[in-house]
Structure 1
Amino acid sequence: MAAPAEQLKQAMPYTTRYPELGTGPLDVRPLIDPELFELERERIFKQAWLYVARAEELAEPGDYKLRRLDVANTSVIIVRDRNGEVHAFHNICTHRGNKLIPEQEAQSLGHTATHTLTCRFHAWTFNTDGTLRGVARQESFAGLDKSCLGLNRIHCAEWEGFIFINLAEQPRQSLVEYLDGVADHYAGYPYNEATLRFRYSTVLNCNWKVSLYAFSEGYHVPTIHQGTFPSLATLEHTEFRCFGPHSTSGLYVPPVPGLEPTPVTANLGGRLRASNRHRPHLELLPENINPDNRQDFQFEFSVFFPNSVIHLCAGNGYPGMAIFHHQFWPIAVDKTLWEGTNYFRPPETVSERIAIAHTNALHRNAWLEDTSTMEQTYQALSSGVLDEMVLMDEELMIRNTHKHWHDYMGI
């Protein structure tokens, strides 16, 4: 029996602001069905804008990033040309289809001082703007038109230093149109200052949405992280907003009376908080994030559909940390590449470097706790025992992703 309207509004004040999302259970099938996974490849990952790089990774002309996308059966080169423009191309030589740059792992960085990319198979050479520059023994080809044999271009756009690609022949929307209100919501923070990054990754034996959903709510925090971060027992998860397929929320952690950090954490965290470079910079937050200027602000975190979660800390929630994000790259219906990256402003002293490493390690340990649930969740759901999932109010961002997943899939 459905709850009376007033009772429902009291129990789910955030969710009921978005009646199109509903308040009932969600179907489990999208998390476990192999046929739906194959449809996702075409209807979501070859249609939506995908975050693939930070501008600082391509700081200089000739810098490039190689990004393998198993879900789209392709490999992508994102490169800054000699004029400073960023391009994206399929990593395939237009001669006989060899991979232009050999892959070492899911993502890697490189630089070409000559502003060219040369295939190691037959030495075809391309400029960093994608044009075909040179062909070995060109005279032996009949009627070869180099102007038609440049690298296969991928739509590429940048927002606040976040570089996105779109694999569709013609995207439905520009990147800014796609990001909707979340673009303005996050705009204006000096993301480009956080150039020191620590990346972790692993392949999880679960569906990508199981991983994404685990990082899309704070309901689990007091339970899963009670050993690592007991201070989070008082966590407040609030300020939910939906912007089309994307959603965002704020986390605050009021002090726990009598709970003090360990001496090491107090010492090292204190060094960062005392540094003008690494101290909390709440004044730099965009105006709609932490609108009441609460000093117990932990971070703002958003789900960028389809597969990214971005957290803006401004050095407050975790000492010195500016931002961090997670990405969940599908490999198979039951396999996901999870990547987590922490971003800091570079240290100026050895003690700051040690303190940053300490903050990063604490955060990494929390991620180990998070990822420990995902494979078991997927295994249990795959049994078919549950047809539906029941969500509480603060799992709103899962509900929004789920709704727009259905919209993209057309089912």
Structure 2
Amino acid sequence: MAHFNKPAAGSWTEHYPELGTGPVDFTDSTDPAFYADELNAIFKKTWLNVGRVERLPRKGSYFTKELTGLNTSLILSRGTDEEIRAFHNVCRHRGNKLVWNDYPGDETEGTCRQFTCKYHAWRYSLEGELTFVQQEGEFFDLEKAEYGLATVRCEVWQGFIFVNLDPDAQPLADYLGTMLKGVEGYPFDEMTEVYSYRAEIGSNWKLFVDAFAEFYHAPILHMKQAVKGEADKLAGYGYEALHYEIDAPHSMISSWGGMAPPKDPSMVKPIERALRSGLFGPWDKPDIEGLDALPPGLNPARHKAWGIDEFEIFPNFSLLCWEPGWYITYHYWPVAVNKHLFEANLYFAPAKNARERLAQELAAVTFKEYALQDANTLEATQTMLESGVVTHFPIMDQEVLIRHLHVHAQKKVKEYRDANAAR
């Protein structure tokens, strides 16, 4: 895996000449035709993370995932053979949604021995086989073996469950590439205490990825969340990341921060000192194997002040590993050209006492406040982009991952359009 250490004079962007350095076209976030092609070219042909294996702890466990923008719903289940599978959530009889509770648009989870349709009681095994048809004798030459649930490609990487709507897609490991290979071995499976947030955002999905793919904004947008001394320091010196890397279609940013406890107690709030926690998570690293000797892909700059690595797994999955020993995932699910569903999950090692639990709670609510500040700018951005007054925008060196995201998305849509035109 190649790593670049930025020289005193130069830029991160120059390592990726295919991205260029000119203004970036943002009509990819406002054009309905581009959005429609983006769904077909990217989301219907790319590996998408839909959760973790801890949500399927035993045989018969299942959960559903609504992919509203893609006009489908999925069932993820662990079969009697322990295999994790994915199916389209549709009964083969008359097309009713198979697994749902009171409201068909809501996601659900649980444990069962089989899936039974609410409409006519057709039944399917955990492996997707049609096992029972009500009044089967009145159908015409019905072969149950031909009417199992419609399967979806499903593979697992480091406990993360991925699906792909394209049955001919390359294997997941090949898609993730060498950069993500360097993360393997991190103890994700030890961090099972989860805090979750979900919000509908009035912007194109790429704009929220943009917001988290750079910290250039942090000293300004989040200034009021820090004590005055820390805010003045950040505003005065700006921001410089430790490392950027692109392994197309994926990318990553490595940053300082999260070192605890702070050398100067006055630089944090009283409640943070009391609970030994804050935005960067609990200060006390959990006692779990795998945190002392990190995988080679983390902290690529080998910097003593390293605090966080954020991996942007194309198209819509962000994975953030924090130095104090916890991690976050973000998902950005497109709903319309100007709307998406944002999901955030914070993962900690299970707390051993009340103080550790409160430390996690503080980290979770602090994160929520910061995330709301990021989201607050997005609808204003979307509105003005849609005005069409300005369509191309200058992107600085610290925003190289933003440049990469838009250039790569536009490339994939162009390839899709060219292929269709050639038919």
The two structures have a TM-score, normalised by structure 1, of 0.90
- What does residue 109 of structure 2 align with? 110
CA contact (8 A) 1:91 1:100 kept: yes
Q: How does 1:5-404 map to 2 (within 5 A)?
A: 13-102=11-100, 104=103, 108-114=107-113, 116-171=114-169, 173-229=170-226, 231=230, 233=234, 235-253=239-257, 259-269=266-276, 272-274=282-284, 276-277=286-287, 283-291=292-300, 293-314=302-323, 316=324, 322-404=326-408
| SS of equivalent to 2:225 | coil
Contact 1:208 1:336 in 2 (8 A): yes
Structure 1 residues 285 and 304, CA gap change in structure 2 (3 angstroms): same
What SS does structure 2 have at the residue aligned with 1:180? helix
Pair 1:290–1:10, CA change in 2 (3 A): closer
Instruction: Specify the SS of the correspondent of 2:224.
Output: coil
**Gaps (5+ residues) in structure 2?**
1-6, 416-423
1:237 aligned partner, one-letter code: A
Mark the CA change 1:343 to 1:18 in structure 2 (over 3 Å): closer, same or farther: same
> What is the number of residues matched between the two proteins?
396
Code of the residue aligned with 2:313 in structure 1: it is F
Q: Give, in angstroms, the shift of residue 276 of structure 1.
A: 4.4
- In the alignment, the residues of structure 2 paired with residue 343 and residue 153 of structure 1 have an alpha-carbon distance, to the nearest angstrom, of 30
What is the rounded CA distance, in whole Å, between the counterparts of 1:276 and 1:304 in structure 2? 26
- C-alpha RMSD of the superposition: 2.4
Report the residue type matching 1:309 in the other structure: S
CA distance, structure 2, for counterparts of residue 305 and residue 351 of structure 1: 37
| Aligned partners of 1:53 and 1:163 also within 8 Å | yes
State whether residues 216 and 309 of structure 1, in contact with CA within 8 Å, keep that contact through their aligned partners in structure 2: no
Q: State how far apart, in whole Å, the 2-side matches of 1:221 and 1:323 are.
A: 19
TM-score normalised by structure 2 residue count: 0.88
Deviation for aligned residue 1:181: 1.6
Q: Does the 8 A contact of 1:251 with 1:299 survive in 2? A: yes
Cα distance between partner residues in 2 of 1:56 and 1:284: 24
Query: Cα deviation per residue 1:344-395 (whole Å; 9 max; x = unaligned)?
Result: 1111112211221111111111111111100000001111011201111111
- Alignment partners' CA distance in 1, 2:303 and 2:118: 56
Residue in 2 that maps onto 1:5: none
Identity among equivalent positions (%) equals: 33
